[in-house]
A and B are shown apart, each in its own frame.
Chain A
Amino acid sequence: MNIIVCMKQAPDPEGPRDSFCINVEDMKVEPKGIPPALSLFDENALEAALRIKDADKENVKITVLCMGKKVSSAVLLKALAAGADAAVMVQGAEYGVQDSFSTARALAAAVAKIGDYDLILCGRQASDSNAGQTGILLAYVLGIPAVSLAQKIVPDSAHALIERVLQGGYETVKAPLPCLAVVGNEAGELRYPAMKERRLAKKKPTSEWAMDDLALGGALSQKVTLKRLFAPTARTRACKFVAGDALAQVLREDQVI
């Protein structure tokens, strides 16, 4: 079984707010002092793939697909060390400010170039754009079924049983392979690689492609255009520190409770 996990590189969203420098002129966010990382939710997608592999180590192959203007090898190495078998990075300067539609079309071309796949996994949203559309759009471009907010995926030879998170519970759905699952954070955190895995990761096959290597069939049109970036209104409050044994009384005095 071949699994492709689409992973995006993005600055760690938990970096301090002032490290997200906004270049108003070029409508770009220039992270200062926070290293690029795997987009948080894509780590959940990789973990979901690794759990499938745990159950059938010999027959499951996981390829990580990472696309962007520039992909850091340290980021890819993390995915390989966690247990992916191979990595493909697609880089290109022209891959600039793009919407989910054009990203999905470019990813579809990269998936076609990778070739054989049974299952494609994506994170629920990128930790930079937070759009949460690319996975489903990719499935539609490829013409395969999509299941979103997956918390558990159990494939057999022809289908995948997927637990999909609902408000207040979940449902199990059955989708024919090949299919795409958009993985929710409920799937669990990415495992921490051991030292040995880190060393092995450097030896795993990594392909480097340019956007020009993909059969894109012309320019990618955009449906959503970024018009402006600005800083959010800072919301800080004056925190009154109190001792634990005084908290109930203070809240009562201030008529909070």
Chain B
Amino acid sequence: MGTVLALMELSRDREVLPSSLEALAVGKMIAEKVGLKLAALVMGGGIEQAAESLRAFPTDEVLVVDQPLLEVYQPELYTQAVEQVCSEIKPDYLVMGETFQSIDLAPRLAFALDSGLVTGCVDLEFDSGETLFIKPVYSGNVMAAYAVEGVPRLATFRSKSFEPAKPGESAPSPVRSLAISLDQSSVKIQAVEQVLSGNGHAQGLENAEIVVSGGRGLGGPEGFEILRELADQLGGALGASRPPCDLGWIEPSAQVGITGAIVAPDLYVAVGISGSTQHVGGMEGAKTIVAINDKEDAPIFKIADYGVAGDYKEVLPQLLEGLGRSK
């Protein structure tokens, strides 16, 4: 019986990422449909707790590669490690959440394992013995279904596309440590320094119940000051569409969209955002969308529940004042 291998990614405080638990759920779905076993693979340095926490989820096995060299993601070493695990386990599928790490790792694995990869999948279809990987193309204007040749079939899954796996009722899954030998002499890319804030995952943004985002329409970095005020007032997180990040008005990690954070909050307030497909792809899962834009025909209004066609410099002070009034 073959195996679906779900590669788990850890945050810097060594907790399994929500997007990995979504990938684990996808792995379970494939395993059940195709009739395979499901194994979770977790790699890193000093990860006993993460490995233990994974045993609560319904898998056939938790595979652990715990080595000091893997404590921090290094592309060449991680590629070697997964390649060795695959040569031992011989999985039919290898699935991951779509993250900054897997964007880098998955294509390397595709080459190393001589297998096909589909990135950013949002759905699956099982069609007469063939698994089809479904993803948005043309920045979300078209959907495509792909079949993958080679074993293992590789896929990354866009976050928030699937419900995350839930801990099961049954006894903890068996855990197995895999010994691998890493060849450091092949490493060509040397890390010099890391400049990081927070725990390395935009939890603040991705899990916030309220997100307030600004776009090019803010006109400059100073526009984010009043936006921050609104985010604070609502108790939400501050985000942005791509242009302000690219123009340096706000840090890149604030980006919401298909090349940034994918969010699905209860309330999303879009200010000065026109509503490009690339931004909408990262926030259309929000329960309620409020758009403020001075152009009445901005595409963002098509997906908004509430709209204000006006200059944010006038509208936001009014909104702040209205929010400040006794409830």
Contact = CB atoms under 8 A, between A and B. Distances in A.
A257 B143 contact: no
Interface in A190-236: 222-232, 235-236
Contacts of B132: 227-228
B111 A247 contact: no
A179 to B, nearest CB: 8
Interface stretch (A65-73, A87-95, A143-151): A143-151
Contacts of B191: 171-173
A249 B143 contact: no
B89 interface: no
A169 B194 contact: yes
Interface in B271-327: 276-278, 284, 288-292, 301-310, 314-315, 318-319, 321-323, 325, 327
Contact of B196 (A14, A127, A168, A242): A168
A125 B247 CA distance: 19
A133 B119 contact: yes
B227 to A, nearest CB: 15
A224 B148 contact: yes
Interface residues of A, number: 84
Given A165-B252, A173-B192, A228-B132, A131 B119 contact: yes
Contact of A167 (B193, B202, B301, B314): B202
Contacts, number: 267
B305 A223 contact: no
Contacts of A173: 189-192
A20 B144 CA distance: 13
Contacts of A85: none
Given A232-B142, A248-B319, A224 B103 contact: no
Contacts of B307: 239-242
A237 B302 contact: yes
B190 A174 contact: yes
A137 B105 CA distance: 11
Contacts of A133: 106-107, 110, 117, 119
A135 to B, nearest CB: 8
Majority DSSP secondary structure for residues of B touching A: mixed
Nearest to A186: B252
A27 to B, nearest CB: 9
Nearest to A175: B189
Contacts of A11: 138
Contacts of B137: 29, 128-130, 229
30 contacts: A14-B278, A17-B277, A100-B107, A101-B110, A124-B103, A129-B137, A130-B137, A131-B118, A133-B117, A137-B111, A147-B189, A166-B194, A166-B196, A169-B194, A169-B195, A169-B196, A170-B194, A175-B188, A185-B242, A189-B246, A226-B145, A227-B147, A228-B132, A228-B144, A228-B145, A231-B143, A239-B304, A240-B307, A245-B318, A257-B234
